[in-house]
Structure 1
Amino acid sequence: MLRKVLQRITQVIKSVKMTDISPSSAAVQQDDKGNKRPLVEELSDQHKKQKTESGEQPKKLQKRKIAMLIGYNGKGYHGIQINKEVNTIENEILQALVKTQCIPQEHADVPQKMSFQRACRTDKGVSAAQNLLSLKVIIDIENLLEKINSHLPEQIRVFGYRRTTGGFDCKNYCDNRTYMYICPTYAFAPLENIVTDEYRMTDDVVEHVNKMLARFVGTHRFHNYTSKIDAKEARAKRYIISFTCGKPFIRDGCEFCVITVRGQSFMLHHIRKMIGITIAIVRGNCGEDVIDKSWKPERVDIPKAPGQGLCLEQPHYDNYNKKYGTDGIHAPLDWVEEQDAITKFKEEYIYSDIMKTEKDEKIMMEWLGTLQHHAFDFVNDKDDRDSRFDKKRFLDKCKRDTDIVITPETGFNFKSKRSNFDNSENTKANEDNSDGHSESEVKIKSETIEDNSDKHLDSEVEMKSK
């Protein structure tokens, strides 16, 4: 009996609630198919404002995963990688994307939110003719490339972009990378020659250089060509696909050659050390056996060529292009349409700057004088000259041990207390004098030595013979 009373009361309450709802509200609650919809009163004020006159909401711009092709001259920048403490290439690009409204500021502050990645990391002062970034951005913007480049300095350019697969990562999908090193040919001049811009590289020297570069092709343990990596570590093993020296050419009275290396990946200072030991062998500072020693677990003293001539040419995506570039949905990452702009940028902002800087500042010429101070043999880990403290001590030692320096305008060669030869045609070696400085007065005027592996030691040494 009690149950029937409760059921009756419940039915009465339900009927009263139904009569309280207005006809207009009931109409809003149901559509033509009888499905329930939210009441108009429950819509927020913000939602009402977004509705247009036609009753439709504005279309939200979607972020798309893209591969963005960039090029830059690295002079004046502390590498490409994002660093809030110093000026870098990626800092400039991300702020340009914010100003173009491709990304919000919070994504520039935390790039991981947009799956940001770079194909190749370049160090301080190193340029790139082509490098790739992968990220999620809004691309439904008119004249997008022009707007991005308008917010970038002239030495940094965005050449183009391509829609990619959602899981594309420009670093992990990269098959291999090509670097170029623009080198003055007098770097390969024999030790008995006075080094000047007038030196011209013969076909025999080019052949000798290519023979030495070929020694690095294949899979090897390159622990002696980088810093703080042991021979037993897996990351010490790298694969070099090709390593060649092109025919020399003359620019503004100075002869240059382009050394091209293509490899799966490279470590810090890797390319510069391979080129450094090649120069030392061709010049006659050491023998070919140094390369054989460098494959052994022990630490070997390998010179590091100046970073001035190093340039990233391009990353390669052969497997990605083969798998996705022909599916009819995604374009291949070959950048054929952008080649004219890339070539023009390389010539105006990278190659010409490298060659002009070398001709004006003689960076390579001064570096050649330090080769005779290297051991080219097994050394203790404590003597690793890649550390900042040891590098400064090493440069100071070069200054102390060098007896003769002829200024670059007239060429130069060196007489060292450690060497058993004197390359100068006008000065005879004093074999009876172990002091080396007892019959000479040396005045050294040095500017501040910047602790930077990519910059040269700016010094002038004057000789006054008694």
Structure 2
Amino acid sequence: MVMELILPRRTYCMAIGYNGTNYYGMQIQSNTNNCKYIETIESKLEEALIKSNMVVIRKSKDEYVNLKEFNSSSFLTNINWTRVGRTDKGVHSVCQIVSFRGSLKVSDNDLQEELNIIMKYSEEDLNSLYNKIREYNTIKNPLITNPLLHNCNNKKNIKSDKSKKESLDIVIEETIQNYLLKKLNLILPQTIRIFTLIRVSKNFDARKDCSRRQYEYIMPEYVLYPVKFIKQDLYEKLQGIAQSRSIENKSNFKSKYKNKRNRDDLINDYNYCEDEDIDENNNENDQDLKELRIKRYNQHELLRSNNYNLDHYPYIEEICFNRIKEYELNELELERFSKILNQYTGTHNFHNFTSRLEYNNASAWRHIDKINVNRLPVKNGLKLLKITIKGQSFLLHQIRKIIALAIEIYRGSAPLSSINLCFGSRKYSIHLAPSQGLLLDRVYYDHYNQRINSSVNLNDVNIPYLIFDDLKLQYVKLIEEFKINQIYPVIGKYILDGKWNEWIDTINRHPFIIDNFAMDI
């Protein structure tokens, strides 16, 4: 007979990586209107957690919920599931953070034997095992209580004062955590990997406690190949209109800070807080606003279908993809593209870079810390650029529109002033760069770590910092390996298959300068 061991109820977080190509985004989706099953990352995670039979929910002190009682997504709801962000269909991640609260249960023979051996350890051997487990998951620092609290050597070494029983409890709990991690990875498909499972504070929320998010966007250099307008006089007229709007925009721009929220408010706003993460189920209260957007969209589509009543189409000379694939930026050109992108850094109104937000909505204000552009090593003849964007939080489609507009400015199909114009109150239409180039790269929990550091709650003593950018950590090495070996090749294949060519054709047919200024001619 196998003895069951059930740990006290705890909150845990997991760092997850996934290839988003064949999934309909991160968030689990309810099966409404008798639609077929929609496969998402969360649906696979929920399935794996239930199959593992290691996460249980208490009804009372000695009674537990039967997992078979749960319908789709209700299990995640009952374990207080949170996520750092909802990525859209096709978007990848190497550092998606999710959290849940429940009791871990073990009844497996293999682990039972391992636990029986651990229970017979001497105190000296137990401390050695404790250190090995902590060293595997964290940065070892024997002078402090929390293995990840750097430069805190004045803290009392509570661990050394612990009784054998307390040390034993910690070792057993971490052994069970690691076993659950291995079991989940055996159940999950190879496209979804869990890199670590860490105990966190009781009320931890993966989204609300995240201070910063960092994304990468991978794109081919040839996308930046300059274009040439067939009708130069039309192009010059459009540039003149853009210049007039730019002057008008500057005069209105002076009042923007009257409506801007304090940066602290930006940090604490969780309604619109990450890329691909506006609640699509949230019904709009302002019916007039919804109707205005529909009217605006229909008018724009009608103008497009009539080529904006212009007597010339196409607007841009046709390009030979076989020829432009050899295109490569020199250092000065790379610097120019970087300068275009860095116009986005700082705090700005990004209402034009998302959907369902107007200029006067406070949630449109976002802060971007930095944007870097680097070349990736050439592989399979591909010359790729990696754009790294780090900020507090991002809106639905914000990063993909940021990239798309920067590309159009560089190649000449959007005026140089386009970014600043889009920060203003007027509505602009911006293309959406392909989702397959985007990945959630890193998340930062600086404020959470500070809170844990200063906590006087004894339950927080053995809770480590959440750090996902230090390669001395074993799980961070796994994250980086997954990105290089699993995600980059998928993005490269997408480019080799010519999918970017379709997108270039689209922006050539409907360049930003035509879409947004032709109606003023």
Q: TM-score range by the shorter chain?
A: 0.5 to 0.7
- Show the counterpart of 1:231: 359
Residues in 1 aligned to 2:195 and 2:396: alpha-carbon distance in whole angstroms: 27
Deviation per residue, 1:115-155 (Å, 9 max, x gap): 11001110011110111001113345442211111110000
Residues in 1 aligned to 2:385 and 2:479: alpha-carbon distance in whole angstroms: 20
Is the aligned partner of 1:312 residue 2:440?
yes
Residues in 2 aligned to 1:259 and 1:69: alpha-carbon distance in whole angstroms: 22
Displacement of 1:240 after TM fit? 0.7
Is the aligned partner of 1:331 residue 2:464?
yes
Selected match of 1:83 from 14, 18, 29: 29
Residues in 2 aligned to 1:200 and 1:123: alpha-carbon distance in whole angstroms: 30
Is the aligned partner of 1:364 residue 2:329?
no
CA separation of 1:197 and 1:326: change in aligned 2, threshold 3 A: farther
CA separation of 1:139 and 1:337: change in aligned 2, threshold 3 A: farther
- Show the counterpart of 2:216: 180
Is the aligned partner of 1:352 residue 2:493?
no
CA separation of 1:87 and 1:325: change in aligned 2, threshold 3 A: farther
- Show the counterpart of 2:155: none
Return the TM-score normalized by structure 1: 0.66
Kindly indicate whether the alpha-carbon contact (under 8 Å) linking 2:6 and 2:104 is maintained by their aligned counterparts in 1: no
Deviation per residue, 1:341-361 (Å, 9 max, x gap): 21221122211111112112x
CA separation of 1:263 and 1:58: change in aligned 2, threshold 3 A: closer
Displacement of 1:318 after TM fit? 1.1
Deviation per residue, 1:21-78 (Å, 9 max, x gap): xxxxxxxxxxxxxxxxxxxxxxxxxxxxxxx9xxxx9765423101111111111110
Deviation per residue, 1:242-297 (Å, 9 max, x gap): 11211353110110010010111111110011100100011111221111210111
Matching of residues 345-424 of structure 1 within 5 Å = 345-360=482-497, 362-374=498-510, 376=512
- Show the counterpart of 1:92: 44
Structure 2: segments with no counterpart, 5+ residues: 32-37, 57-66, 112-178, 229-318, 456-460
Matching of residues 270-309 of structure 1 within 5 Å = 270-309=398-437
Return the TM-score normalized by structure 2: 0.59
Letter in 2 for 1:162: I
Residues in 2 aligned to 1:58 and 1:349: alpha-carbon distance in whole angstroms: 37
Kindly indicate whether the alpha-carbon contact (under 8 Å) linking 2:408 and 2:512 is maintained by their aligned counterparts in 1: no
Selected match of 2:87 from 106, 109, 122: 122
Structure 1: segments with no counterpart, 5+ residues: 1-51, 384-417, 419-466
Deviation per residue, 1:207-245 (Å, 9 max, x gap): 011101110001111011111211111111111111121
Which structure has the larger Rg over C-alpha atoms?
A: 1
Is the aligned partner of 1:219 residue 2:165?
no
Residues in 1 aligned to 2:422 and 2:513: alpha-carbon distance in whole angstroms: 9
Matching of residues 136-215 of structure 1 within 5 Å = 136-139=101-104, 141=106, 142=111, 143-191=179-227, 194-195=320-321, 196-215=324-343
Residues in 2 aligned to 1:301 and 1:188: alpha-carbon distance in whole angstroms: 20
Residues in 2 aligned to 1:113 and 1:87: alpha-carbon distance in whole angstroms: 20
Deviation per residue, 1:179-200 (Å, 9 max, x gap): 1001100011112574432122
Q: Give 3-state SS (helix, strand or coil) of 1:201's partner.
A: coil
More displaced 10-residue stretch of structure 1: 84-93 or 137-146: 137-146
Residues in 2 aligned to 1:149 and 1:140: alpha-carbon distance in whole angstroms: 17
Q: Give 3-state SS (helix, strand or coil) of 2:205's partner.
A: coil
Letter in 1 for 2:492: M
Letter in 1 for 2:55: I
Kindly indicate whether the alpha-carbon contact (under 8 Å) linking 1:301 and 1:375 is maintained by their aligned counterparts in 2: no
Letter in 1 for 2:29: N
- Show the counterpart of 1:67: 13
Residues in 2 aligned to 1:63 and 1:345: alpha-carbon distance in whole angstroms: 31
Kindly indicate whether the alpha-carbon contact (under 8 Å) linking 1:299 and 1:378 is maintained by their aligned counterparts in 2: no
Kindly indicate whether the alpha-carbon contact (under 8 Å) linking 1:301 and 1:377 is maintained by their aligned counterparts in 2: no
Residues in 2 aligned to 1:341 and 1:59: alpha-carbon distance in whole angstroms: 30
Q: Give 3-state SS (helix, strand or coil) of 1:246's partner.
A: strand
Q: Which has the higher strand share?
A: 1
Displacement of 1:99 after TM fit? 1.1
Letter in 2 for 1:154: Q
Is the aligned partner of 1:101 residue 2:53?
yes
Kindly indicate whether the alpha-carbon contact (under 8 Å) linking 1:217 and 1:240 is maintained by their aligned counterparts in 2: yes
Deviation per residue, 1:385-413 (Å, 9 max, x gap): xxxxxxxxxxxxxxxxxxxxxxxxxxxxx
Displacement of 1:157 after TM fit? 0.8
Kindly indicate whether the alpha-carbon contact (under 8 Å) linking 2:46 and 2:75 is maintained by their aligned counterparts in 1: no
CA separation of 1:115 and 1:378: change in aligned 2, threshold 3 A: farther
Higher RCO (Cα < 8 Å, 6 or more apart): 2
Letter in 2 for 1:163: R
Deviation per residue, 1:69-102 (Å, 9 max, x gap): 1111111110010113311101101111111113
Is the aligned partner of 1:135 residue 2:100?
yes
Letter in 2 for 1:103: V
Displacement of 1:373 after TM fit? 3.4
Residues in 1 aligned to 2:5 and 2:492: alpha-carbon distance in whole angstroms: 51
Kindly indicate whether the alpha-carbon contact (under 8 Å) linking 1:134 and 1:169 is maintained by their aligned counterparts in 2: yes
- Show the counterpart of 1:440: none
Q: Which has the higher helix share?
A: 2
Displacement of 1:377 after TM fit? 5.6
CA separation of 1:152 and 1:253: change in aligned 2, threshold 3 A: same
Matching of residues 445-464 of structure 1 within 5 Å = none
CA separation of 1:280 and 1:375: change in aligned 2, threshold 3 A: closer
Deviation per residue, 1:402-458 (Å, 9 max, x gap): xxxxxxxxxxxxxxxx9xxxxxxxxxxxxxxxxxxxxxxxxxxxxxxxxxxxxxxxx
Residues in 2 aligned to 1:246 and 1:140: alpha-carbon distance in whole angstroms: 46
Residues in 2 aligned to 1:313 and 1:87: alpha-carbon distance in whole angstroms: 22
Kindly indicate whether the alpha-carbon contact (under 8 Å) linking 1:197 and 1:253 is maintained by their aligned counterparts in 2: no
Residues in 2 aligned to 1:183 and 1:198: alpha-carbon distance in whole angstroms: 14
Letter in 2 for 1:356: K
Kindly indicate whether the alpha-carbon contact (under 8 Å) linking 2:415 and 2:513 is maintained by their aligned counterparts in 1: no
Residues in 1 aligned to 2:202 and 2:345: alpha-carbon distance in whole angstroms: 35
The root-mean-square deviation of aligned C-alpha atoms, in Å, is 2.6
Residues in 1 aligned to 2:454 and 2:475: alpha-carbon distance in whole angstroms: 19
Kindly indicate whether the alpha-carbon contact (under 8 Å) linking 1:191 and 1:285 is maintained by their aligned counterparts in 2: yes
